[in-house]
């Protein structure tokens, strides 16, 4: 499993092209409220993370994930 900082860095790299908020993305950035990802886009992000880190992220974890930091922590703990 990736360590936390590795996960954060990769998530930031994936999301930066979608960032139209005018503010820099951080661990505290909310995937939906700040970036405006749709449910479909969230699932596409999850799939890219799963492929990159060769792991499977259970859907059960998604309700607990709001921010980039939340997501990175889940990846670390899998």
Rounded distance between C-alpha atoms, residue 16 and residue 19, angstroms: 5
77 makes contact with another protein (CB under 8 A): no
- Which whole-number Å values give the CA distances from 24 to 16, 20, 76, in the listed order? 8, 10, 23
In three-state secondary structure terms, 32 is: coil
Among positions 17, 22, 24, 58, the unique one binding another protein when judged by CB under 8 A: 58
From candidates 60, 67, 69, 74, binder to another protein by CB under 8 A? 60
Is 56 a binding residue for another protein by CB under 8 A? The answer is yes
Residues that bind another protein (CB under 8 A): 38-40, 43, 47, 54-60
């Amino acid at each position: 499993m990736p360590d936390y900082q590795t996960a954060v860095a990769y998530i930031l790299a994936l999301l930066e092209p979608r960032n139209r908020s005018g503010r820099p993305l951080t661990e505290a950035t909310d995937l939906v409220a700040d970036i405006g990802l749709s449910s479909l886009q969230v699932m596409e992000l999850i799939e890219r993370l799963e492929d990159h880190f060769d792991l499977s992220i259970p859907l059960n974890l998604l309700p607990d994930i709001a921010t980039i930091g939340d997501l990175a922590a889940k990846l670390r703990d899998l």
